[in-house]
Structure 1
């Protein structure tokens, strides 16, 4: 599963979770080389193009709802409350706090929303 990461509507990179459960964030090549585009987060600087982690990157985890809103989203989208990655892809498409939005790369997953 992959998500396209946008900064103010400009494709900044891709976040994905592989079959082993490892997370990867990779800056889009055009975004990475353009000095006018800032890093999406202080914890994901443009000093390297690709990041890997065994847990969801704190920056992306911080975009997730908590408490009753998390419960509502999990019920609404019929996803496991521990599946943070799917919840990120389904709930970070619009109206996020800040400039970053994430859209599922998979059209089928995206249709769940619209």
Structure 2
């Protein structure tokens, strides 16, 4: 299972996981209690319920480079272009915008 910590405005907000069933995102309980917490996307409002999807969530998939930059990232890190979770974890630690992704160890 691959998993990554998701940060909004440099504040930990939840965990994104990939397993054989697809992708799962859940907001952190502490993040939900903060007055300044914001959703990662309008399509993923703040909730204590887990989001599940067979394919990568669009808000996270949109962070992954495209075109020639994807070619460079894929070749440099030897990651298959179709391995969206690995690309997200390798390329999106310091993205443009307010979302960042940091790999977590496998559990």
Q: TM-score, normalised on structure 2?
A: 0.91
Root-mean-square deviation over aligned CA pairs: 1.4
Q: Which residue of 2 aligns with 1:7?
A: 8
CA shift digits 1:54-104 (9 cap, x unpaired)? 00000001101111000000000001111111000111101x121110000
Decide which structure has greater strand share: 2
Q: Which residue of 1 aligns with 2:72?
A: 72
SS of corresponding position for 1:35: coil
CA contact (8 A) 2:27 2:47 kept: no
Segments of structure 2 that go 5 or more residues without pairing to the other structure are: none
Q: Which residue of 2 aligns with 1:102?
A: 101
Q: Which residue of 2 aligns with 1:90?
A: 90
Aligned length: 105
CA shift digits 1:28-76 (9 cap, x unpaired)? 1100122321111111101343100000000001101111000000000
Segments of structure 1 that go 5 or more residues without pairing to the other structure are: 108-114
